[in-house]
A and B are shown apart, each in its own frame.
Chain A
Amino acid sequence: MFDFLKKSRHQVMMAAAGLAVAGSLIATPSAAQDKIKAAVIFGVNNPGSVNGWDRGHFHGAQKLIKEYGWDVDIAEGVPFPQMERTAERYGEAGYQVVIFTSSGQIRAWNAVAPKYPKTVFAMLSTTDSLPKSDNVVAYAPDFFSYGVLNGLVAGQATDSKKIGFVAGLAVKAVEDMWSGIVEGAKAVAPDVEPSYAFSGNWTDVPRAREVTDLQIRRGADVIIGNAGDGTLGILDAAKTSKAKFVGYATDWSADEPGTVLSSVLLGMDGWYDALAKEVASGKVEPKINIFGVDSFTVVPLNEKLLSADRIAKIDDSIRRYRSGELKIPVVRHEVKK
């Protein structure tokens, strides 16, 4: 009896496997035709490992796979000299969309896009200009208004009247963000003194930690960190010195719940949504789409670190800035490069 059961179970399994194979043979070609073949290019390794810019992009790429059914290849750890060749290979292989994730990749974007007109080359980072080609599109945040939100939070959360901004390198996006931080803080707390420092790259955790430690020793009690992987060091220095930390791009609260005051989310998923919809409509226009203050989210402030009154004040200033009631002029503050 048991032999019979074993035999019949074996036969059923064989039949099911046969059906599955036959089904996949029938289904695969049409499914493959429907799927958009895309590639996302990262300069860093393991982009999902650390909160911030690259994890935001990594989540965006996952969204394309899970929600839009795209077939996405992720190229990570691509050094700058190899960037152009990597993008070219995707163009040659007939990928429909190639996504660049950093403004450091603009040169490759400019060089490769005109060569492969059937592929859409999208820059999901800050850029001032587009390649001379019709198959390009850019989605970029307004880093000034992003900085303003950070400045509104930090400016009103500081007790020492000093806030510190630690970044990897003085690129344009960082300079815009710094300008926003200064103007945002000034608008709500004119006596607050913001200062900046650079760790010199986007990967050196120890150096970012020591730079932050210096900022804290000079009196800063609220730290805004944007140094790539180095932000781990910024967060650790803030934790050790009991300073408050405002997270960059993605939600940092789970990393150090007792130190993270809030995070200002860039809403990078929205850029990927916009790209997916534009590609689906078949009307990709060569245009720089700017995502402004409405696309950013301030994670609810940590009630363990600030009083309810101050949280209410900060929330109110954010609301007034979003509605246009609180006007903050766009003023550029240069950083020493």
Chain B
Amino acid sequence: MMLDPEFIISALRVATPLIIVALGVLVAELAGILFLCVEGVMLCGALFGMLGAAYFGDPWIGVACGLAVGISAGLLCAALFVWVPADQVVIGLAFNIAALGLTSFVFRIMTGVVKNSSISMAWPVPEWAADHPVLVFLFQVPPLAWVAAGLFIIAAYLLFRSAPGLMLRSVGQSVEAATSAGLDVLRVRTVAMAIAGGLAGLGGAALTVGWVHSFSANITAGRGFIALAVVYFGRWYPGWTFLGGLLFGVGEVLGLNAQVLGGNSHLYLMVPYILTIIVLGMTGGGRGPREVARPYERD
């Protein structure tokens, strides 16, 4: 069953938003910020991505809108977490609740626009490729799954093989050491939050524009938090985080498959959530960036 191309495509559809958002969480956490408001930022990206796609009639513009809103939300979070600096847990939770209210309110006003906006991003299989199963499969892979894979390769390189990545990670490991090395912690963290927010918004747009082609209140349904768990699962390494995202996608689709094949539907639907608990339990001893959630105030 798991080698069935349709199963793999389905798992990629489910995993794509998680992977993109998890990448955002990874960037924030490596810079020493607990990105608890990721659920809210993802929700904003999901709504404004859908609105953009509906308004401009182009899903890629919708994705760009999700990204832009995510960057704005990330900068807002940076203002609160980095510049104030406020408690990251309290503000993160408050931001999520505020985002739920805001998106529900905007959606209510814009319901008519969102309703008629089911524009697919899927690439049609060209005639010359129709006889080759592998090519057909590659064309069926959601476009944003390719984007997610590309982003991870770039992120893995930048975070662990470049000077800016080293700066970001050093800020997350020890602000004292980073400051004594002449780094501007506030500026590095602000940039990190803009990137993290952008990726969370992009992940939200991947959910609505790239996957279900609609929006409803609280459509993310905890997927931002699952992305957080994926990063913990991946022990703050891009490769493992990518695999963790895929694993969660496979887990959810496996649960749905098992349900259709017979058995107790509720037990199967628990699969991804049980997976989350197991993963968090397993990675409890994992060492994340030391400065995560610690507010930093410049002397």
The answer to whether A198 touches B221, judged by C-beta atoms less than 8 angstroms apart, is no
Instruction: Specify the chain B residue showing the minimal Cβ separation from A213.
Output: B10
Contact assessment for B253 and A205 in the assembled complex, using a CB-CB cutoff below 8 Å: no
A209 to B104, CA, bound (A): 21
Complex CA distance for A213 and B211, rounded to whole angstroms: 12
Whether the pair A214, B120 counts as a contact (CB closer than 8 A) is: no
Q: Given A50-B216, A211-B259, A232-B216, decide whether A206 and B265 contact each other with a Cβ distance below 8 A.
A: no
Taking the closest CB of chain B, its distance from the CB of A1, in whole angstroms, is 46
Task: Tell me if B126 counts as interface (CB < 8 A to partner A).
Answer: no
What total of chain B residues lie within 8 Å of the partner, measured CB to CB? 35
Q: Does A207 contact B (CB under 8 A)?
A: yes
B107 and A49 within 8 A (CB): yes
B104, B108, B115, B219: which contacts A206 (Cβ < 8 A)? B219
Partner of A210, one of B116, B214, B216, B253: B253
- A48 CA / B109 CA spacing, docked (Å): 11
Q: Are B260 and A240 in contact (CB under 8 A)?
A: no
Is residue B235 within 8 Å, beta carbon to beta carbon, of the partner chain?
no
Whether A207 lies near B256 (C-beta < 8 A) is yes
User: B265: which A residues are within 8 A, CB to CB?
Assistant: 170, 197-198, 200, 336-337
- The CB with the most chain B CB atoms within 10 A, among A195, A236, A256, is that of A236
Instruction: Please determine whether A209 and B212 come into contact, CB atoms closer than 8 angstroms.
Output: yes
State whether the Cβ of A327 lies closer than 8 Å to any Cβ in chain B. no
Query: How many angstroms from the CA of A41 to the CA of B216 in the assembled complex?
Result: 19
Are B118 and A239 in contact, with the CB atoms below 8 A? yes
Pairwise interchain contact B219-A205, C-beta atoms closer than 8 A: yes
Interfacial chain B residues near A302, Cβ < 8 Å: none
Task: Collect the chain B residues with CB atoms within 8 Å of residue A255's CB.
Answer: 115-116
**A218–B256 Cα gap in the complex (Å)?**
13
Residues of chain B with a CB closer than 8 A to A49's CB: 107-108, 111, 216
- A215 located at the interface, meaning its Cβ lies under 8 Å from any Cβ of chain B in the complex: yes
CA distance A233 to B211 in the complex (A): 9
Contact of A203 among B14, B115, B218, B256 (CB under 8 A): B218
Say whether A336 contacts B264, CB under 8 Å: yes
Cβ 8 A contact of A197, one of B216, B253, B260: B260
Q: How far is the CB of B257 from chain A (nearest CB, A)?
A: 6
Interface residue? B207 (CB, 8 A): yes
A214 touches B221 (CB 8 A): no
A158 to chain B, nearest CB (A): 17
Q: Is A323 an interface residue (CB 8 A)?
A: no
Most chain A beta-carbon contacts within 10 A, residue among B6, B212, B257, B266: B212
CA distance A218 to B266 in the complex (A): 20
Kindly report which residue of chain B lies nearest to residue A233, judged by CB atoms. Answer: B212
CB distance from B170 to the nearest CB of A (A): 38
User: 1/0 per position for A181-220, CB-CB distance to B under 8 A?
Assistant: 0000000000000010110100111110111011101100
Nearest chain B CB to A194 CB, angstrom units:
13
Q: Which residue of B lies closest to A240 (CB)?
A: B120
A170 to B267, CA, bound (A): 13
A211-B252 Cα distance, complex, nearest whole Å: 10
Whether B213 is near chain A, meaning CB under 8 Å from some CB there, is yes
Flag if B212 contacts A218 (CB, 8 Å). no
A36 to B207, CA, bound (A): 44
19 residue pairs of the A-B complex, CB under 8 angstroms, read A195-B260, A197-B259, A197-B265, A200-B265, A200-B269, A206-B207, A206-B212, A207-B221, A209-B211, A210-B13, A210-B253, A211-B259, A214-B260, A232-B214, A233-B212, A256-B118, A336-B263, A336-B264, A336-B265
A164, chain B: closest CB distance, angstroms: 9
| Contact residues of A between 309 and 337, Cβ < 8 Å to B | 336-337
Query: What is the chain A residue whose CB lies nearest that of B111?
Result: A49
Bound-state CA distance A238–B108 (Å) is 25
Contact of A211 among B213, B218, B260 (CB under 8 A): B260
Complex Cα distance, B194 from A312, in Å, reads 59
Q: Report which of A48, A214, A229, A236 forms a contact with B217, defined as CB distance below 8 A.
A: A229
Q: Across the two chains, which residue of chain A brings its CB closest to B122?
A: A240
Q: Which 9 residue pairs spanning A and B have beta carbons closest together? A: A229-B216, A200-B269, A232-B214, A198-B265, A49-B111, A214-B260, A45-B217, A205-B212, A236-B213
Instruction: Say whether A28 faces chain B, with CB atoms less than 8 Å apart.
Output: no
A50: chain B residues within 8 A (beta carbon): 216
